[in-house]
């Protein structure tokens, strides 16, 4: 049945029929009967679900109350179990007075667009009764807005929502709730008018309403067109009509959205295909690349220079594209990536071998959620290069990922690949990312790299300090021709044009040579409503980037009512990694307490009451208010990409600087200005209170410790770190970098010991005590104790775990191997506390070795069946070899002579090195080479060569600030001391102490040992001669 020819519409509906006929003739209208399906999406992380609520304004308060207070909270909890964020888009609630008709309509249609972008087909609920609502007339809204959405005059705003969100595409995620009108007869006459159209043409309204209901019923299945009733329940104290909504409404809406969400995002798919997250990330970067590469004006020569470098076969170092903020690096990198990707697909890049083809890996740091995480970037690279096929084979942490990546990119057997990475300086501040440990000194023959960054940043300094210098290219300011072309192209897109004087005034500003400044300035002129005042507007534009952004922020405040926007900006700015939209809707809900007190001098009581009020609030910000904030900020926010996580953060760091300039007195958080410090603390406190209560453990771990550290709140930080869910996310067997760093801010060793012993004791006394889980908890806490230098406490917990395994858990081989290895490690650490090897250490050394033997014996039968077990055994063999060197120095014993110990150690090391080489594990290979040097004995000339080899491997794998680097420093120092070169020894011992303090903290026994060595008379004299002030940590504390 064609549109406009429905037999169910009588002739008297001609004008209404014409309107619907025009709708059905639009280019994006699907013919009746077209089958529309939404395919299940495989995913690995969180996803945002957006439900658009459509209805007329004044007559559905009761239903909206039911949705907001009953249906959506239940749905939200159900979604969270599936790692889904639910956001309801209710634009009829919270519309500010004096909002223009155009803005209301534009906001509604744009929000439906966002729903489409997030979920392919928007989740859509419409409620209709006896009103069709406001019908825009010519002049109310611009015609080009309706043309953009293929809509026509004669439709009400609600009809436009229905058509755009559901009707045209036969949206399977849409449901229509038609309210029975029989309740009207029970209403007092003066209350009935609220539920009827207020119009001079009631007949037209009646016809339109009848046609709308018919169209909905004909277009959609009957199970999605639900009739329900309400009952009049009197007049409330405010004179408002009270209606009771029947259970059909609640149950059907909840049932429908659960069914549709589960169909599109099945819970079972969440864990099944972990590799899909890498494809999703690539798709997100590709979308960003295509958008940025579409128009790149005035940079043809630079793009050609970069592509020629990448096509040249004689390059073994990266090319660095350097430029100040806003100089256009990202657009250039996007064009380069797009160009090379196209050439690779067409096999137009020369220099390949054996019919192999080039692949192109592109990554735009900061452009999509998660892109600042170096570990995730490297994992995606390893996946795309087919180095790692299964998620279980992925490196376990950033350190391991970096060393594998470095090995791959230096391997002559690596398949041809071009790496294009934009904004390297925006990677998270992990040591490995700052030290660029994932990029080798020399690239393999078929590896080409181009990186962009701001000059003078740590990544830039690291790369140019290398022996093999990278090729540097600086992005030059835009020339006049490029600026003119950009201005003309921009305004032509919007059918606008500057007159000659205006064009000249704009071009006369020196700042137009900066692409970011120019793009922001052009957007400011485009949205300026008074053409007669454009010349003055051009003259008023500040010429420095931060000044211009400050003007933009002032406009944003004026357009959005001020405090909501300022609070959003400040909270995103002080967050660790951006905020989810669903989080912001909750954070912004308490509009009376959005901003810091005027004088930033609230009493402790007032602070506590405000905090409790915020924490107990479950309201969300009216969505229309949020939509207005989001609209103005959108150009400055990182795109969502394909992840759909819903995280918002600033794409360009220049906006961060402008925010600090405007709202934080132009100062960073290290300021000595007490008032500014209170401002920072207030915002950190607001976020800390929020994340203390969140059920999203990943977000809690990511954000909460950061804010508590900023606040200096040691008590709450210790409480958070003792939460086992948080502990398990931060725990790493070898070295829990973040967890240990957080504890240093929470009170150090004493606090770690007290908190975890108390937490373990509580678990032991819990009625839910589980032997297997408790054994694992003992082991993990024991390893954290050892990492913190609490060796006796770690040993005690390890012994408890072993007792459980031996008496109640059947001595499971893998668990016994791990626990015996832990005991060996504990005794090894105790041995290393001694500054000299003495005979009285023989017992400790033998404990180290014998526990290591036990671990190896448990692992041997399992090694052939698992590469991971073989790797664990190789690590244990290397560690035992280190202890065997001490055993040799101590003279051995009848049960294991020095000769037997050296022979066994060399055999172990040979096997271990083979395993590490087969895995391209440069870090462990470096440790094995160091151990090989130690096993040789004292003052052997071959040792120094092995130490130097190990040091180079260590720097390639981990950088020069890591636990292994510290071990290399002290062992090399011992070598120089043994041959009498005390100045060399002093150099290495001092570096050992400095690295230990930075990596492990000042309280760690290894740090104290390092400073105590330097306090010996020989090294004290050298320090005095060199002007160094070395003091052991204990003296510094006193």
Share of the chain above pLDDT 90, in %: 46
β-strand partners of 644: none
Mean pLDDT of 61-66: 86
Kindly indicate the confidence band of residue 171, based on its pLDDT and cuts at 50, 70 and 90.
very high
Residue in this structure with the two tokens 């071959």, named with its chain if needed: 942
- Predicted confidence at residue 57, as pLDDT, reads 79
With 80 as the cut, is the pLDDT of residue 393 above it? no
Kindly write down the DSSP assignment for every residue of 497-553, as one continuous string.
---HHHHHHHHT-GGGGSHHHHHHHHHHHHT---GGGHHHHHHHS-SSHHHHHHHHH
Kindly indicate the confidence band of residue 958, based on its pLDDT and cuts at 50, 70 and 90.
low
At 764, which helix (H) or strand (E)?
A: helix 749-764
pLDDT single digits (tens) 540-569: 999 988 899 999 888 888 777 688 999 999
Question: Radius of gyration (Cα) for the chain, nearest Å?
Answer: 34
- Predicted confidence at residue 128, as pLDDT, reads 96
pLDDT single digits (tens) 787-838: 999 999 999 999 999 999 999 999 999 999 999 999 999 999 998 888 777 8
Give the Cα separation of 910 and 889 in Å (integer): 21
Question: Which DSSP symbol is given to 579?
Answer: E
Who has greater pLDDT, 530 or 515?
515
With 70 as the cut, is the pLDDT of residue 600 above it? no
* 947, 972 Cβ separation under 8 angstroms: yes
pLDDT single digits (tens) 81-98: 788 888 888 776 556 556
- Predicted confidence at residue 759, as pLDDT, reads 95
Give the Cα separation of 347 and 354 in Å (integer): 13
**Closest to 579 (Cα-Cα) out of 500, 694, 466, 479:** 694
Give the Cα separation of 345 and 617 in Å (integer): 54
- Predicted confidence at residue 269, as pLDDT, reads 58
pLDDT single digits (tens) 292-311: 887 788 889 999 999 999 98
First vs last Cα of the chain: how many Å apart? 90
State phi, psi for 621 to the nearest 5 degrees.
-65, 135
Kindly indicate the confidence band of residue 272, based on its pLDDT and cuts at 50, 70 and 90.
very low
Mean pLDDT of 399-410: 81
pTM for the model stands at 0.69
């Amino acid at each position: 049945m064609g549109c406009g020819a429905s037999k169910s519409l009588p002739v008297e509906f001609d004008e209404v029929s014409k309107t619907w006929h025009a709708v059905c003739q639009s280019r994006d209208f699907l013919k009746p009967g077209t089958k529309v399906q939404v395919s299940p999406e495989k995913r690995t992380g969180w996803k945002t679900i957006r439900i658009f609520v459509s209805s007329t304004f004044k007559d559905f308060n009761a239903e909206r109350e039911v949705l907001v207070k009953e249906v959506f909270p239940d749905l939200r909890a159900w979604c969270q179990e599936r790692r889904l964020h639910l956001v309801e888009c209710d634009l009829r609630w919270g519309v500010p007075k004096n909002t223009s008709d155009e803005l209301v309509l534009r906001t509604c249609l744009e929000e439906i667009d966002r729903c489409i972008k997030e979920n392919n087909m928007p989740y859509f609920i419409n409620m209709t009764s006896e009103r069709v609502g406001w019908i825009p007339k010519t002049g109310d809204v611009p015609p080009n807005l309706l043309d953009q959405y293929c809509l026509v005059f004669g439709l009400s705003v609600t009809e436009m929502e229905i058509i755009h969100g559901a009707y045209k595409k036969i949206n399977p995620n849409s449901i229509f709730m038609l309210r029975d009108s029989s309740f009207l007869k029970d209403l007092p006459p003066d209350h009935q008018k609220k539920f009827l159209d207020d119009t001079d043409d009631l007949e037209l309204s009646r016809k339109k309403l009848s046609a709308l209901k018919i169209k909905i019923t004909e277009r959609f299945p009957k199970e999605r067109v639900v009739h329900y009733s309400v009952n009049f329940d009197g007049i409330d104290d405010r004179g408002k009509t009270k209606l009771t909504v029947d259970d059909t409404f609640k149950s059907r809406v909840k049932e429908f959205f659960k069914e549709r969400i589960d169909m599109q995002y099945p819970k079972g798919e969440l864990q099944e295909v972990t590799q899909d997250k890498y494809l999703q990330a690539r798709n997100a970067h590709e979308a960003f690349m295509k958008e940025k590469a579409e128009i790149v004006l005035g940079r043809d020569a630079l793009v050609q220079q970069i592509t020629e470098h990448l096509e040249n076969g004689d390059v073994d170092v990266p090319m660095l594209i350097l430029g100040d903020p806003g100089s256009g690096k990202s657009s250039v990198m996007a064009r380069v990536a797009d160009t090379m990707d196209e050439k690779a697909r067409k096999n137009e890049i020369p220099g390949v071998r054996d019919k192999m083809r080039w692949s192109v890996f592109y990554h735009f740091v900061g452009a999509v959620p998660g892109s600042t995480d170096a570990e995730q970037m490297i994992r995606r690279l390893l996946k795309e290069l087919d180095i790692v096929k299964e998620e279980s084979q992925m490196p376990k942490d950033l350190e391991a990922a970096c060393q594998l990546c470095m090995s791959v990119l230096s391997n002559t057997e690596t398949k041809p690949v071009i790496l294009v990475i934009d904004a390297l300086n925006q990677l998270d501040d992990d040591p490995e990312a700052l030290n660029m440990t994932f990029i080798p000194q020399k690239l393999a023959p078929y590896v080409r790299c181009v990186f962009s960054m701001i000059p003078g940043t740590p990544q830039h300094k690291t790369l140019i300090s290398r022996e093999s210098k990278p090729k540097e290219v600086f992005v030059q300011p835009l020339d006049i021709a490029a600026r003119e072309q950009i201005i003309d192209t921009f305004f032509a897109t919007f059918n606008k044009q500057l007159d000659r004087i205006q064009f000249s005034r704009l071009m006369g500003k020196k700042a137009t040579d900066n692409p970011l400044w120019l793009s922001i300035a052009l957007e400011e002129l485009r949205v300026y409503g008074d053409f007669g005042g454009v010349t003055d507007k051009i003259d008023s534009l500040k010429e420095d980037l931060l000044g211009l952004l400050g003007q933009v922020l002032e406009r944003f405040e004026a357009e959005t009512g001020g405090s909501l926007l300022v609070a959003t900006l400040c909270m995103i700015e002080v967050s660790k990694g951006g905020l989810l939209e669903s989080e912001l809707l909750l954070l912004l809900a308490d509009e009376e307490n959005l901003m810091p007190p005027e004088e930033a001098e609230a009493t402790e009581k007032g602070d506590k009451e405000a905090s409790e009020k915020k924490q107990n609030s479950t309201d969300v910000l009216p969505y229309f208010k949020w939509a207005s904030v989001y609209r103005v900020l959108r150009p400055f926010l990182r795109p969502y990409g394909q992840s759909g996580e819903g995280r918002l953060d600033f794409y360009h760091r220049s906006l961060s600087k402008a925010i600090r300039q405007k709202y934080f007195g132009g100062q960073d958080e290290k300021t000595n200005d007490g008032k500014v410090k209170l401002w920072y603390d207030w915002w950190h406190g607001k976020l800390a209170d929020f994340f203390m209560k969140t059920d999203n453990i990943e977000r809690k771990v990511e954000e909460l410790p950061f804010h508590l550290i900023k606040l200096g709140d040691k008590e709450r930080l210790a409480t958070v770190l003792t939460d086992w869910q948080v502990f398990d996310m931060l725990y790493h067997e070898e070295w829990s970098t973040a967890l240990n760093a957080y504890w240093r801010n929470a009170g150090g060793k004493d606090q770690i010991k007290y908190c975890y012993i108390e937490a373990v004791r509580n678990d032991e006394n819990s009625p839910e005590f589980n032997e297997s889980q408790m054994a694992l908890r003992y082991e993990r806490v024991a390893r954290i104790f050892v990492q913190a230098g609490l060796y006796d406490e770690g040993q005690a917990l390890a012994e408890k775990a072993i007792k459980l395994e031996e008496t109640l858990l059947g001595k499971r081989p893998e668990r016994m191997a791990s626990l015996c290895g832990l005991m060996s490690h504990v005794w090894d650490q105790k041995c290393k506390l001694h500054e000299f090897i003495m005979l009285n250490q023989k017992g400790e050394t033998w404990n180290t070795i014998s526990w290591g033997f036990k671990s190896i014996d448990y692992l041997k039968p399992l090694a052939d069946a698992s590469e991971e077990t073989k790797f664990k055994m190789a690590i244990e063999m290397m560690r035992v070899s280190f202890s065997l060197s001490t055993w040799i120095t101590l003279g051995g014993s009848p049960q294991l002579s020095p000769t037997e110990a050296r022979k066994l150690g060399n055999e172990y090391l040979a096997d271990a090195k083979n395993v590490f080489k087969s895995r391209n594990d440069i870090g462990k290979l470096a440790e094995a080479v160091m151990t090989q040097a130690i096993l040789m004995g004292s003052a052997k000339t071959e040792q120094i060569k092995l130490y130097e080899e190990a040091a180079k491997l260590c720097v390639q794998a981990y950088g020069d600030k890591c636990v292994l680097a510290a071990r290399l420093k002290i062992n090399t120092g011992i070598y120089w001391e043994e041959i009498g070169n005390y100045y060399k020894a002093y150099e290495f011992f001092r570096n050992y102490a400095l690295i230990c303090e930075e990596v492990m903290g000042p309280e760690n026994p290894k740090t104290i040992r390092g400073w105590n060595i330097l306090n010996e008379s020989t090294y004290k004299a050298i320090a005095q001669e060199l002007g160094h002030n070395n003091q052991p940590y204990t003296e510094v504390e006193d």
